[in-house]
Amino acid sequence: MSKNTPGPSRALEIQVPCIVFLVTTPAFVAIRLWSRVKSKSGLGWDDCTILASCIFAIIVMAFMLASCAYGFGQHIANLTTPHKLMTLKLFFVSQAFYKLTMNMTKMSILMLYLRIFIQRWFRITCHVLLAIITSYMVATFFASVFQCTPVARAWNKTIPGSCINITTNWYANAGFSIATDIIILTLPMYPLYTSKIRLKRKIALMGVFALGTFVAITSILRMQTLDFSSTSPDITYDIASSVWTITEENVAITCACLPMMWMPLARLFPSIFSIDHGADSHGSSAAKNSEPNTTSRPRSNWTQLHAYPDTKGISMDQTSDSPNRSSEDSAGEGGESQDQIENGITKVTEYYVSYSNAKSLRGKYISRPE
């Protein structure tokens, strides 16, 4: 602002990442939604929450850019009083929306897990984490808004009143964020590790989910700047924590979108992310079993786990010894309900049959072809 006293400014440290992420973050969310619509798997609550998180992230960056226009990034002594108050007010609002962004991103990831995995212990854990994170999001949002009494004291310390310890509040929020990041990151690894899928695909899936490590790293790096930024007398110039705030929330949204981008990844890297399950070892051996003059018998006792972009999550292809059991009878192991099928678990019963004498097979479950 022209009315501020000229001096050094660190505004570009805020403006550059904001401009970059204002392009890339909505792009990743758009690709995610396009992939879901294109594959006809349908949009779910995980998509709605990540879209809301993206909107909140855009609001955070918009307020940060506006605060830079009033002097955020410059020495506080160089700002006029009206500009200083407006800068701090915009920063105050952005911090509240940051709490919503981070926690809704975590909720989106957990809702995605619920669309993919059917293990009882896993789903219970996800629901417990959802309840904890939702409660914490509401609590920390109101704690951020009402950190001072009256509220206006948060950006104008000349108003009589009281405030909570900002440093303690920021550290508590960072600690909770890092802890939940690590839990959410490691949660799907065991089910994926024990799944019966090809090693290459298993490593690719685990690698995609492990990209959340970058979120935990940015949270840790941000945490190291909190004490300095929260206690600095020159709060408009010492903006290291604000830079990491913008980076952290946008990296989190991007990583949350990557597991749903299997279709674009499969097109870019078909050898790793191929969705053609015909190349599986079982598929190739099935072709051999379908040759004439061999014994007729259904293949059984194997379960293949696939991550298909054209389904709502991970589907399970499993043969069965029962000839009359259809693919819609159950899902997963132990006969899950049709509701779980609609939530993304599909069981496909396949029979690989060949015969040399149709009469010998009559009376079983194969009839003479007409």
Q: Which of 59-73, 134-148, 260-274, 283-297 has the lowest mean pLDDT?
A: 283-297
Question: Backbone phi, then psi, for 157, in 5-degree steps?
Answer: -70, -10
Q: Lowest mean pLDDT: which of 52-56, 174-178, 336-340?
A: 336-340
Per-residue burial over 23-36, b if 16 or more Cβ lie within 10 Å, else e, is eebbebbebbbebb
Q: Where are the domains of the chain?
A: 11-260
Peptide bond into 270 cis (omega under 30): no
DSSP 258: G
* Higher per-residue pLDDT: 186 or 366: 186
Q: Give the pLDDT confidence score for residue 288 in this predicted structure.
A: 39
User: Which residue has tokens 């909190």?
Assistant: 226
pLDDT in tens, 122-180: 899 999 999 999 999 999 999 999 999 999 998 988 899 888 888 888 888 888 988 99
CATH architecture entry for 11-260: Up-down Bundle (1.20)
pLDDT of 290 above 70: no
Q: Would the CA dihedral through 1, 75, 153, 132 be positive or negative?
A: positive
Contacts of 356 (CB under 8 A, 6+ apart): 292, 293, 294
Q: What is the spatial distance between Cα 110 and Cα 108, in angstroms, rounded to a whole number?
A: 5
